[in-house]
Amino acid sequence: MRHPFIAGNWKMHKTVHDAVVYTKEFRRLVADVTEVEIVIAPAFTALHAVAEAARNSNVGVAAQDLYWEARGAFTGEVSAEMIREAGAEYVIIGHSERRALFGETDADVNRKTRAALAAGLTPIVCIGETLAEREANRTFEVLDRQIRDGLPGLTPEQLSALVVAYEPVWAIGTGRTATPAQAEQAHTHIRARLADGFGPDPARECHLVYGGSVKPGNIRELMEAGDVDGALVGGASLDAEAFAEIVAGSLKAPV
Ligand code: PEP
């Protein structure tokens, strides 16, 4: 039985000091939560300090990106092994900001996902359509392409351990949340495509979470939508109390 999966993506926020203060407070706020998989994703600079501050708690740690090569002359990049050694167990891959601002492609997402899995990290792979794509009725076509080109080469076992985040780009950081019906429609489609590619069991077992302006006030209705296993949260995860409320609000019967 999977528990809900709730991850907070801090993006380029929080110094090491602020990140540690947050983590100490947050782990206290969620200490009694046993049935949610909880993850926070600080910037690389704070990764090790946050992992130390979260040690022996129910709070896991994610990096926000990685590079697929193990080592070498790749100035500014960070490998999966470095991330593991810093204390993280998860890594966000293919966030729409990386795709839009840094030119990340589906092929890059695939290389990063495979590198993460090879190093024992759990990838949180982000997919989702832009507003223009949705308005042109191309949502499913875009999701299909991102799955087809972003996830080839994974074994069914690897797929079952994956977290796939459906993040409609028009809902990220905009305050405009997908309706539960829109989330459910996209998730049902994604789950079916994953079943086509990897088989029904791995597709059912992988976590499929929603991201896009999730807040304490809307987490419950989103979790009630069919096929939503949790959330990837940006802005609202920057405040420890708000994020703890989202964690509490995600609790429903294990999915
Ligand atoms: C995100 O960055 O993945 C995200 C969902 O951001 P926000 O919650 O701020 O929309």
State the CATH number of the domain containing residue 90: 3.20.20.70
Closest residue (by CA) to atom 7 of ligand 1?
Answer: 234
The count of domains in the chain is 1
> Tell me: the pLDDT tens digits for 36-58?
999 999 999 999 999 999 999 99
Instruction: Name, in order, each residue with C-beta under 8 angstroms of 85's C-beta and a sequence gap of 6 or more.
Output: none
> Tell me: the pLDDT tens digits for 82-106?
999 999 999 999 999 999 999 999 9
Asked whether 73 and 92 are in contact (CB, 8 A), the reply is no
Q: Is residue 255 situated within a structural domain?
A: no
Per-residue pLDDT at 253: 44
Output the tens digit of pLDDT for each of the chain's 255 residues: 579 999 999 999 999 999 999 999 999 999 999 999 999 999 999 999 999 999 999 999 999 999 999 999 999 999 999 999 999 999 999 999 999 999 999 999 999 999 999 999 999 999 999 999 999 999 999 999 999 999 999 999 999 999 999 999 999 988 888 999 999 999 999 999 999 999 999 999 999 999 999 999 999 999 999 899 999 999 999 999 999 999 999 996 444
Output the CA 165–ligand 1 centroid distance in Å: 11
Q: Is residue 254 situated within a structural domain?
A: no
Output the CA 60–ligand 1 centroid distance in Å: 18
The set of catalytic residues is 95, 167
Output the CA 73–ligand 1 centroid distance in Å: 32
Per-residue pLDDT at 252: 64
Q: Is residue 48 situated within a structural domain?
A: yes
Asked whether 221 and 182 are in contact (CB, 8 A), the reply is no
Asked whether 127 and 190 are in contact (CB, 8 A), the reply is yes
Q: Which residues pair with 233 in a beta bridge?
A: 8
Closest residue (by CA) to atom 1 of ligand 1?
Answer: 234
Output the CA 41–ligand 1 centroid distance in Å: 12
Closest residue (by CA) to atom 2 of ligand 1?
Answer: 234
Q: Which of 123, 143, 236 is nearest to 191 (CA)?
A: 143
Q: What φ, ψ does residue 229 adopt, rounded to 5°?
A: -100, 5
Ligand 1 interacting residues, C-beta cut-off 6 A:
9, 167, 172-173, 211-214, 232-236
CA-based R_g, the chain, Å = 17
Q: Is residue 183 situated within a structural domain?
A: yes
The letter for the amino acid at 142 is: V
The residue written with tokens 């994020």 in the block is 243
Q: Is residue 96 situated within a structural domain?
A: yes
Continuous segment of H or E residues that includes residue 166: strand 163-166
Q: Is residue 35 situated within a structural domain?
A: yes
Per-residue pLDDT at 44: 98
DSSP-based three-state secondary structure for 123:
strand
Q: Which of 60, 198, 216, 199 is nearest to 124 (CA)?
A: 60
Q: Which of 11, 14, 12 is nearest to 53 (CA)?
A: 14
Tell me which of 99, 124, 167 to substitute to probe ligand 1's pocket, judged by most ligand atoms within 8 Å of the beta carbon. Answer: 167
Closest residue (by CA) to atom 3 of ligand 1?
Answer: 234
Q: Is residue 221 situated within a structural domain?
A: yes
Q: Is residue 12 situated within a structural domain?
A: yes
Q: What does 97-134 look like in DSSP terms, one character per residue?
A: HHHHHH---HHHHHHHHHHHHHTTPEEEEEE---HHHH
Structural domain that includes position 132: 5-249
